Amino acid sequence: MPSQKKILEVKNLKKYFPTTQKQQLKAVDNVSFDIYEGETLGIVGESGCGKTTCGKTCLGMYPVTDGEVLFHGKNIHSMSKKERFAFTKRVQMIFQDPYASLDPHQKVYDIIAEGIQIHGMAKNKTEEKKMVAELLEMVGLNAEHAARNVHEFSGGQRQRIGIARALSVNPEFLFCDEPISALDVSIQAQIINLLMKLQKEKNLTMLFIAHDLSIVKHISDRIGVMYLGKMVELTESSKLYVEPKHPYTRALLSAVPIADPEASAQKERIMLKGDVPSPVNPPVGCRFAGRCENCMEICRKEEPQMIEIVPGHYVACHLYDEIPGSKGQKADASLLARVQST
């Protein structure tokens, strides 16, 4: 069960990529969140909204443009080489594409043993072999599979190998970047189950990214919703579905198809207009303003800040701006009524 110990603190993280025209692609723009020990934080959002970039920056794979990421209170972007090396042992990643993330010219054994070798975790070859076999067993493969080449495996099996590689160094934190979106529906469940099982067994902390809200909700304790480089809402996963606050979250939730004709027919749909703007030149003010039904004047001018409207529920939307004297909740209630009437 999630404790209250922060394992990762992300503070005002910004990651801009330079583009050719001297402009910057603001992939992640001022995002803050914490991850507590043993929990799974899910991040959803549309394609290109900066989920992967955010995750990778948190793992130190990209340098930050601004802000900081603290791992157990230590800034990961100002680590020495040695510290960084130790850090890699504690934090691992699972990739989206099970085909691209495994070296096609290596055997399963080589792939899984690499981390063990790099960190000198095995005393000798036999121990190494034993460890690899255990890892394979753990992810639901056979020890016999170790001698094979990766291209003999299907997508699901490959993803298991990827998970075994990540677990080979006994990490405490796992970043899963859409680990299932490249897999077939029937295989997805296997991987989800495996990840959930492993998390329980090893008390892993996970950052789980996907654009499929139902899966994120299934696996996460808390969910952050991103839109165009910004975190717009962050709360417990059960709460998010029941009482979404941000208009984008609401639209997103309503757009997710439900595999049940009756439930689907009853569901109310919020149809958004237009397309996601380019992250190269994001609109001033609220980035969602252009597509938002509740867009107000202020939305086009001022960027909303993340505010905690109820404990543990953060939203970045002007609808919930604190009216002087009252708590954000009130404003929410009145506006919500207006929203629902439209």
Ligand X SMILES: Nc1ncnc2c1ncn2[C@@H]1O[C@H](COP(=O)(O)OP(=O)(O)OP(=O)(O)O)[C@@H](O)[C@H]1O
Q: Which of residues 283-342 bind other proteins (CB under 8 A)?
A: none
Among 2, 11, 14, 17, binds ligand X (CB under 6 A): 17
Can you tell me whether residue 149 is helix, strand or coil?
strand
> With respect to Mg ion, which residue has the nearer C-beta, 52 or 168?
52
Near other proteins in 31-60, by CB under 8 A: 46-47, 59
Amino acid (one-letter) located at 282 = P
- The verdict on 104 binding other proteins (CB under 8 A) reads yes
Residues forming a β-bridge with 177: 209
Q: Token match 């090893």: residue?
A: 202
Q: Exactly one of 23, 47, 238, 281 binds ligand X (CB under 6 A); which one?
A: 47
Nearest-10 Cα torsion for 340, 211, 240, 275: -20
Q: How many residues bind ligand X (CB under 6 A)?
A: 13
Q: Which of residues 266-285 bind ligand X (CB under 6 A)?
A: 279
Quote the least distance from Cβ 239 to Mg ion, whole Å: 25
> What is the rounded CA–CA span in Å between residue 256 and residue 46?
12
**Which of 8, 31, 38, 50 lies at the binding interface for ligand X (CB under 6 A)?**
50
* CB of 253 vs ligand X, minimal distance in Å: 18
Question: Which residue lies nearest ligand X, judged by its C-beta?
Answer: 52
**Angle, in degrees to the nearest 10, between helices 155-167 and 185-202:** 20
DSSP summary character for residue 175: E
Q: Which of residues 194-223 bind ligand X (CB under 6 A)?
A: 211
What's the closest the beta carbon of residue 222 comes to other proteins, in angstroms? 13
SS3 (DSSP) at 290: helix
Output 16 or 173, the one with its CB closest to ligand X: 16
Q: Does 162 bind ligand X (CB under 6 A)?
A: no
Secondary structure of residue 225 in the 3-state scheme = strand
Site string for other proteins, 242-281 (x = CB under 8 A): ---------xxxxxxxxxxx-xx----x-xx--xx-----
- Sole window of 30-38, 47-55, 300-308, 317-325 interacting with ligand X (rule: CB under 6 A): 47-55
CB 178 within 8 A of CB 209: yes
Distance, in Å, from the CA atom of 165 to the CA atom of 111, rounded to the nearest integer, reads 7
| Binding of other proteins by 193 (CB under 8 A) | yes
Q: In angstroms, rounded to a whole number, what is the distance separating the alpha carbons of residues 235 and 245?
A: 10
In order of 169, 178, 260, 295, the CA distances from 212 in angstroms are 29, 9, 17, 26
Nearer to other proteins, 35 or 111 (CB): 111
Rounded to a whole number of angstroms, the minimum distance from the CB of residue 190 to other proteins is 5
Give per-residue burial for 190-200: e unless 16+ CB within 10 Å, then b.
Answer: bbbebbeebbe
User: Residue 154 binds which entry of other proteins, ligand X, Mg ion, none, with Cβ cut-offs from 5 to 8 Å by kind?
Assistant: other proteins
Q: Which is nearer to other proteins, 282 or 321 (CB)?
A: 282
3-state SS class at 6: strand
Spatial contact of 29 and 226, defined as CB atoms under 8 Å apart:
no
Residues paired with residue 208 on neighbouring β-strands, in sequence order: 42, 176
- Structure-token match 């899963």, residue found: 176
Q: In one letter, which amino acid is 125?
A: K
Distance (Å) of CA 296 to CA 89, 250, 278: 48, 17, 21
Residue 149 binds other proteins, judged by CB under 8 A: yes
Q: At 208, list the tokens.
A: 């789980």
Selected binder of other proteins within 73, 124, 126, 185 (CB under 8 A) = 185
Q: Is 19 among the residues that bind other proteins (CB under 8 A)?
A: yes
Identity (one letter) of the amino acid at 4? Q
Single out the segment in contact with ligand X by CB under 6 A; choices: 33-41, 51-59, 139-147, 215-223: 51-59
Q: Does 115 bind other proteins (CB under 8 A)?
A: yes
Binding partner of residue 17 among ligand X, Mg ion, other proteins, none, CB cut-off 5 to 8 Å per kind: ligand X
Q: Which residues bind ligand X (CB under 6 A)?
A: 17, 25, 27, 45, 47-53, 211, 279
